[in-house]
Structure 1
Amino acid sequence: MCNLHTVRKSAAEVAAHFGVRNPLASNAPEESYPGTPGLVVREEAGERILQSMTWGFPLRLKGMSPTAKPKPVNNIADLRKPMWAGLARKPQWRCLIPLTGFAEAEGPKGAKTRTWFSVKGQPIFAWAGLWRHSDEWGPVYSGAMTDCNEAIKPVHDRMPVLLMPDEYDDWLRGDFDQALAFQERSFPSDLIEMARTSELWVKRKGTLPSPAGQLL
């Protein structure tokens, strides 16, 4: 389950990588957690657009107070589930989530550290996602997950559906079967770089990236 990702590049660099001619103003931070802003690339009228959206589809759990803040569903376990299939079947609701890295937590409870993953030879890469408009938070996005490969297996049993540049169009414009194929494949282990760090998973009081997200 991915609950932390980064884009440590300028908006201009991200736009250039994804072929975006006119990126929209963005207030996305370098580090994104569930329920916070992140950068997204989507298509409209044949043009790619880069903009900031909230990471996570708002979900009200059973028994929640009507005034309680919804939970952000930031990871997509199965594109065939009813919550996702209607969007996933329509290319206009697919998106690319720009990344320079994503992290998983390792270590004992209360002292977990950040282990970062990136793609070899790709200073910027993409996570396959879906987006929509929400009444609660405006535009929102969530990322598709798949079974881990051997490179990530020591840390977690799941990983984001990662895309190489020559696959961007297939995700954004392909049919539903093509979208499912990306979620069902195994991303090559030899393309993954892992960096274990001493960074605490929770950097400061009130920053809780792990429990905040939801996987559906």
Structure 2
Amino acid sequence: MCNLYTERLSAAEVAAHFGVANPIQSNAGEEVYPGTPGMVVREEEGARVMQSMTWGFPLRLKGMSPTAKPKPVNNIADLGKPMWKGLAAKPRWRCLMPLTAFAEAEGPKGAKTRTWFNVKGEPIFAWAGLWRISDEWGPVYSGVMTDANEAIQPVHDRMPVLLHAGEYDRWLNGSFDDAIAFQSRVFPPDLIETTRTDELWVRRKAPPSEGLALS
């Protein structure tokens, strides 16, 4: 489960990479956490647009107070499940999540550190996502997950569905079978670069990473 990624990108850089004609500024921070804003690229009337949305579909767990804040479901484990299939089958609800790196927690409990992953030679790349409009937070999005490749497995058994630049259109406009194929494939491990750090996973001033993954 991925609960942290970076968007160290300007609006102009995102627009140029993803073919967006009218770049917009975002209130997203360089580090994106579940329940906080992130930049998303989607299609509207045949053109790619940029939009700031909340990372995570709002979910009220059983027993929660009606006044409690919903939990953000920021990872999608299985596109074939009824909860996700209705969105995944319609290209209008697919999106691209621009990022520069994503992180997983590594190490002993209470002292976990951030291990970062990026695509070699790609200063900007994309994570396949779905989006919708929620009553609670307005536009929201969630990232599709898959089995970890050999590069990620030492740290976690799951990883984001990463897309090459030439695959963006297929994700945004392809069939449901195309979407399933992306979730089923193994992203080449030799394209993953790993950076281990001594940064604590939970920082005192950072928003908590308490997102959810639902199958």
Q: TM-score, normalised by structure 1?
A: 0.97
1:95 matched to 2:95: yes
User: How far apart are the structure 2 equivalents of 1:172 and 1:17?
Assistant: 15
Which letter does structure 2 place at the counterpart of 1:7? E
SS of match in other structure, 2:42? strand
1:14 matched to 2:14: yes
Q: What does residue 215 of structure 1 align with?
A: 213
Q: What does residue 129 of structure 1 align with?
A: 129
CA displacement 1:47-73 (0-9 Å, x = unmatched): 101111000000011111111110000
User: How far apart are the structure 1 equivalents of 2:84 and 2:147?
Assistant: 18
Q: What does residue 152 of structure 2 align with?
A: 152
CA displacement 1:142-183 (0-9 Å, x = unmatched): 000000000000000000000000000000000000000000
Which letter does structure 1 place at the counterpart of 2:144? A
Q: What does residue 199 of structure 1 align with?
A: 199
Q: Retained in 2: the 8 A contact 1:35–1:72?
A: yes
Task: Give the deviation of 1:114 after TM superposition.
Answer: 0.3
Which letter does structure 2 place at the counterpart of 1:148? A
User: How far apart are the structure 2 equivalents of 1:179 and 1:92?
Assistant: 13
SS of match in other structure, 2:86? helix
Q: What does residue 177 of structure 1 align with?
A: 177
Which letter does structure 1 place at the counterpart of 2:211? G
User: How far apart are the structure 1 equivalents of 2:207 and 2:18?
Assistant: 30
Q: What does residue 190 of structure 2 align with?
A: 190
SS of match in other structure, 1:69? coil
Q: What does residue 51 of structure 1 align with?
A: 51
User: How far apart are the structure 2 equivalents of 1:136 and 1:8?
Assistant: 27
User: How far apart are the structure 2 equivalents of 1:85 and 1:73?
Assistant: 15
User: How far apart are the structure 2 equivalents of 1:25 and 1:132?
Assistant: 20
SS of match in other structure, 1:131? strand
Alignment of 1:80-119 (within 5 A): 80-119=80-119
RMSD: 0.9
16-25 or 52-61, which moves further after superposition?
Answer: 16-25
Task: Give the deviation of 1:26 after TM superposition.
Answer: 1.3
Task: Give the deviation of 1:205 after TM superposition.
Answer: 5.1
180-189 or 9-18, which moves further after superposition?
Answer: 9-18
Q: Retained in 2: the 8 A contact 1:41–1:49?
A: yes
CA displacement 1:67-111 (0-9 Å, x = unmatched): 111000000000011111000000000000001000000111111
SS of match in other structure, 1:146? strand
User: How far apart are the structure 1 equivalents of 2:207 and 2:23?
Assistant: 29
Task: Give the deviation of 1:213 after TM superposition.
Answer: 0.6
Q: What does residue 30 of structure 1 align with?
A: 30
Q: Structure 2 vs 1, CA of residues 162 and 199 (structure 1 numbering), >3 Å: closer, same or farther? A: same
Q: Structure 2 vs 1, CA of residues 152 and 206 (structure 1 numbering), >3 Å: closer, same or farther? A: closer
Which letter does structure 2 place at the counterpart of 1:98? P
1:60 matched to 2:64: no
SS of match in other structure, 1:83? helix
Q: Retained in 1: the 8 A contact 2:11–2:24?
A: no
Task: Give the deviation of 1:208 after TM superposition.
Answer: 2.1
